[in-house]
Structures are given as C-alpha cells and as structure tokens.
Structure 1
Amino acid sequence: MKTIVITHYGQAKEVFETIETPMPVLSSGEILVKVMATSVNPIDYKIRGGYLPHLIPAFPAVLHGDVAGVVAQVGPDEQRFKVGDRVYGCIGGFLDRSGALGEFAKGDSTLFARMPKNLDFAQAAALPLVGITAYQTVFEKGNIQPGQRVLIYGAAGGVGHIAVQLARIAGAEVFATVSSQEKADIVRALGAHHTIDYTRTSIEDMIAQYTNGEGFDMVIDMVGNDNLLNSFTLTKVRGTIVTILAWTTLDISLLHQKALSFHVVHMITPFLFNDTTGQQQLGSTLDHITALVEAGQVKPHIDRIYPFAQIAAAHEYAESGGITGKVVIAQEGGL
C-alpha cells in the first residue's frame, strides 16, 4: 500500500515522501481502517520538525494520530466493530504506534468510536484529538458547574473551539479570547457569550470589566507560556486553572497565595505510560462526543481541507499561526 512517511526531521516540504509499505497485520483487538481523512495537530508538525524527539516513531515514520475511515478488516476476537463500519479515532503517529498517513491504518479498537452520522469523513477527522482533549478539560479536570464564569484562552483554535461548545453545554458563562473580528464571529457562533480581544484588553481590564474585579471562576489555557502565567492573575481566589500546555518554567507563588486548583490535560499520557485503562477511555470519550455531535450540540470548524498529495502544504499552513479550528487532509483520488 502507499504510505506517506518521513525518514528524518525537517521542514515539511523537505521530509515527506510516498513509499510502498506492506499491509498491516492485525493482532487481537485491532482493526484495519481504510483511511479517508486525517487532520493536522501541533504534535504532528512538532514531531516532524524534530522538536519532540522522545515521541518520534522509528524511521521511516508514519505521522498523524487523527483518522476517519471505513473498517476494512477486524482482528481476532474483535467484538466492537465489523467490516464496513464508519469510524474515527486518534491512533498514534508517535512512539511505537504508526499513524494515519497511509491508504490503510491499524489501531486498537478501543481507540475508535463510530462516526457521528451527521458528519462526513473530513469533519470527523477534525475531532478526535481536540475533542477528547476539550472533553477532558471541561468535564473531567475542570468539572465546570452551571453559572461559572469561564475564560478560554485560544478559543478559536483546534481544542479551544470545541471547549467553547462543551463549556456552553456545561452551563458556564463563556468568555473567549480572540485576536480578530473573524475569530470573534466564529466563537460567538459556536456558543461563546462574550469575546475579548486580548491584543487590546489588559489583564486588569478583563478582570474589572467582566468579573466585577473578582477574577474568573476558571481559566482554560490553550496557549501556554505567558498566557499560563496570566491565568494565575485572571483566576479568582480558590478558582481553577486547566491548561493543555504546561511546557514552561513559572513562578507559581501566586498559585499558592490564591489557593488555586491547577490541572493539566495531556491526551497522549495513556500512551506514554502504557496505561491500558486510560487508552480504553479515549474511545469511550469519543462515544460521548459522537452523541453530542449527533444531538447538534457540537460541530467542528474546518479552516482548510487539503488532499493527501499536498501534505507538506497542509503542515506549512497549520504551523503558520492564526488558523481557526482545524486543518484537514482528505482523500482525493487516492494517495
């Protein structure tokens, strides 16, 4: 089968190549999926660029965790899926788990869920990693309660735009930071009650204008770096911070002084520590997301769709900054 691989780190236009690889052999509990679409997540281009060498699969490496497609074969003892089922999931693209950039991809069936009936393959491929991350952020770590003031940093991004919708479902008053009117329009359409242009509004003004000087009940940080430190100031006493990007060194004294609750979400943790139970929960979380999508409460926002032949261009655009929602790669006449 044809597979897109990298054999070394580097710029997108320099490293991707298409080669012939053997068809995957299934073990017990695995399924083989005819790949119809995948999407670009930051982890994909960071691995490709050599910034996360501890996560790189063996060369030649097949990247991309997100996948949507049709079950082509099931392994021994498989009970959840049958040939012909339309499924989606986040299967790997890191460590020893091959990704989705091939005509076919295999993965443990517990990592998959049935696709929402009201989405096409491109839309479904936009959801797994960001949907699971947002779900863990809002419902599991954040445990948002009705009426809470929740500020979401990076609200128009991949995880952020799903978190906006889930926080609205949870009953929060949703405040979304944006950097343009286009992004404000998008996140308002997705359910944000308020949009805040962080390029024009100071931290102090956010607190004064939107929380009567108290601070937000919760800040969800999708950006990291200085934004994570700002979250300590923006959150009220005994409030909660949930971040998906804690790769930084910070002075946490304010966290201590305000007795804040601090949580980190890292969707791939179950893979890093061979946590079988955690991996099984990923598919279960997608089942919940499927139900929300089919009920019309959650929908992915796609910025651009590329064919597989333009994988390099898709990566370049995704890492250029400023995109809204997700960049998707979908089949167009095969690989």
Structure 2
Amino acid sequence: MQALVLTSFAAPMTIEHLPVPQPGPGQVLVRIAASGVNPLDTKIAAGTAPHARPRLPAILGIDVAGTVAALGDGVTTFHVGATVYGMAGGIGGIQGSLAEYGVFDAALLAPVPESLSLREAAALPLVFITAWEGLMDRAHVQAGDTVLVHGGAGGVGHMAVQLAVAQGATVFATGSAASRDTIEAMGARFIDYRTSTVDGYVAEHTGGMGFDIVYDTVGGATLDASFKAARLHGGHVVSCLGWGTFDLSALTARAASYSGVFTLLPLLSGQGHARHGAILREANKLIDAGKLRVRLDARRFGLRTAHDAHAAQLDGSARGKLVVDVAD
C-alpha cells in the first residue's frame, strides 16, 4: 500500500510503499477512503504536540472513513464491505489514516450513516466526540440551559453549537463578523468577539447572571474570559484547550466549576475505546434526524497533496473541515 510517512518533525512527509497490515483480535482492516485534517495533525507534524505522544516514523491522520476489508478474531459488529468511520489513530504510535489501508480497533468505529458521504464522515469524529464529551459527559446540557460556545464556526465549535441546539438549549456563539451567517444558520445567537466585551455580552444576554454552560474551544485568554462568563451559583466552564496556566479566581468568585476535555485519552491509554464508538452512534442519530451537519471546505486533496491541506489548516484559509481523499 501507499502511505504518507513523517520521518522527521517540521519536515515534509513522503510517500512510501509498505505492506498492508493485518488485523488482530478485535480489530478491522479498513480500506481508507478519506482522512480528516485537524489542527492537531499539523501540530504533531511540526513537533509541537508532545501530549499526543507521537513516535517516528509516523503515519498521521486521526480521523478515518472507509470500507472494512477484513475482520480480526472476535469482531461481530461489522462485516466485510461495511463503511465505517472513527477517530482511530495517528497518535501514540498508532497508524493514522494517511495511507491506503489501516488496522483499527473495532470499538472505536461506527457505521457511516446512509446520508453521509465518506468525505463528510472523515471530517466528523474528533470534533464531534470532543463536543459531546464537553457538553454531554461533563456539563450535562439539557433543555432550557443557556450555552455560550467560543469559536462557534470552528471545527469543535460548530459541532457544539448544533449539539446544544439539538438538546433544546438557548445557544450563543462567538466568532468574527465573517462567521455570523454560519453561526446563525445553526440556530445560535451571534456575538462578535472583536467588538464585544465579556461584561457587555453577559449583561446583554443574561442580565449579568452569566451562562449556564460555557464551552471554550479557543484556549488562552478566551478560557480566562470564559471564567467571567459562567453563571453565578453553579455555572460550568468546559474547555478542550485548557493547556497553560490560568487564574481561577473569577471562576471561584462565581461559585462555578470547570471541566477539561482530553479526547485523545482512550487512544493513548488503551482504555475507553467503546465510549468513542458509542458517541459516534449518537452522532448518527442526530444526522439521521437532520440535526447535525459537518461543514466541509470545498477544496480536494490527495495523499500527494496532503501537505497543501496541512498548509490550508495553518494559514486560516479553511472554510469548514479539510479532508484528504485517500482513495482515488
């Protein structure tokens, strides 16, 4: 098979011809159709993501969609020929999806809904799982909650907005003026982070009380701002980018709480794989109900031009999730 291999950090990946791997117990061999591109992929390639525990040489690509080509012993959830998707590799020494074939733990995968293309499926796993773990598993969002999503048009952000709306929450989302239409089309109320202050939008939209749930997908100063936006007496701040040092005094003063989301943990620890597969099956229900869509960048990339997809992720030109078409 052909695979795109990273042999040195901050250096170009190269096409190599490798043996097709064979599935072990509990695993499936997937003929890969598409590989989703995430900001984390570019950080791993640059050598700036030690938390992902990359091991060189590495085949990157965390998100995968394709067709089951062979089953390992004990796999009964899928059949040869089934289309599957998942967040299944590309970190911690596990082969990723920038290759024609890959062996993945069946528990990490879910069937691709009929209404979803394989390109769309490849764009969805990491961002949806991250949104679900924050809103559902940590913050327990429910109907009637007020939810603020920072970065509402981004990868995780646009999943979090749609998920909160689907649960019956009243949703607000920050973004630039250019993202207003996207945010409002998903059912959220737009807040321009460049022209608004935390005190201003908390006063305008919550009467100064704060939001029940604040989901930070940006990190840094935005997470500090999130602590000031949480509801008095029990607000909950969630972040998927809580790396760094932060001042918790504003959170404490509001008697609010904080939860971190580390979506990579099942892959890195080898524990909890089935939870990720189950979360993607919840995504399937929302997709089938017409309550969840993934935004795709219209540009097309292949294995030999995957570096261009990484460049587009880095330069901020992406308008939706970027996908590499592995299968011609």
Provide the aligned length of Structure 1 versus Structure 2: 326
Distance of aligned partners of 1:281 and 1:332 in 2 relative to their CA distance in 1, 3 Å threshold:
closer
Distance of aligned partners of 1:224 and 1:81 in 2 relative to their CA distance in 1, 3 Å threshold:
same
Is 1:92 aligned to residue 89 of structure 2? yes
Match of 2:273 in 1: 279
Match of 1:289 in 2: 283
Is 1:259 aligned to residue 255 of structure 2? yes
Match of 2:185 in 1: 189
What secondary structure, in the 3-state scheme, does the structure 2 residue paired with 1:107 have? strand
Match of 1:329 in 2: 324
Match of 2:208 in 1: 213
1:197 CA displacement? 0.6
Match of 1:50 in 2: 47
Unaligned runs of 5+ in 1: none
1:243 CA displacement? 0.6
Matches within 5 A, 1:50-69: 50-53=47-50, 55-69=52-66
Is 1:29 aligned to residue 26 of structure 2? yes
Match of 2:9 in 1: 9
Is the CA contact 1:305–1:330 (under 8 Å) kept in the aligned structure 2? no
1:285 CA displacement? 0.8
1:272 CA displacement? 2.6
1:142 CA displacement? 1.4
Match of 1:246 in 2: 242
Q: Deviations over 1:137-191 (max 9, x none)?
A: 121111112111111001100010011000001111100101023x111121122
Is 1:307 aligned to residue 301 of structure 2? yes
1:78 CA displacement? 1.2
For 1:257 and 1:72, how far apart are their aligned partners in 2?
55
Return the structure number with greater strand share.
1
1:62 CA displacement? 0.2
Taking every aligned residue pair, what percent have the same amino acid on both sides? 38
1:207 CA displacement? 1.2
Is the CA contact 1:89–1:113 (under 8 Å) kept in the aligned structure 2? yes
Is 1:133 aligned to residue 133 of structure 2? no
Match of 1:159 in 2: 156
1:256 CA displacement? 1.8
Q: Deviations over 1:84-124 (max 9, x none)?
A: 00110111101121100101111000010000110111111
For 1:215 and 1:323, how far apart are their aligned partners in 2?
32
For 1:147 and 1:15, how far apart are their aligned partners in 2?
49
1:81 CA displacement? 0.7
Match of 1:145 in 2: 142
For 2:319 and 2:220, how far apart are their aligned partners in 1?
20
For 2:174 and 2:318, how far apart are their aligned partners in 1?
14
Match of 1:178 in 2: 175
Match of 2:218 in 1: 223
The amino acid that maps onto 1:260 is A
Is the CA contact 2:88–2:267 (under 8 Å) kept in the aligned structure 1? no
Is the CA contact 1:158–1:324 (under 8 Å) kept in the aligned structure 2? no
Q: TM-score by structure 1 length? A: 0.94
Q: TM-score by structure 2 length? A: 0.96
Is 1:116 aligned to residue 125 of structure 2? no
1:25 CA displacement? 1.8
1:55 CA displacement? 2.9
Is the CA contact 2:32–2:327 (under 8 Å) kept in the aligned structure 1? no
Is the CA contact 2:100–2:327 (under 8 Å) kept in the aligned structure 1? no
What secondary structure, in the 3-state scheme, does the structure 1 residue paired with 2:315 have? coil
For 1:332 and 1:100, how far apart are their aligned partners in 2?
11
Q: Deviations over 1:4-53 (max 9, x none)?
A: 0110001xxx4111000111021111001111111111211111000023
Give the superposed CA RMSD: 1.4
For 1:166 and 1:270, how far apart are their aligned partners in 2?
22
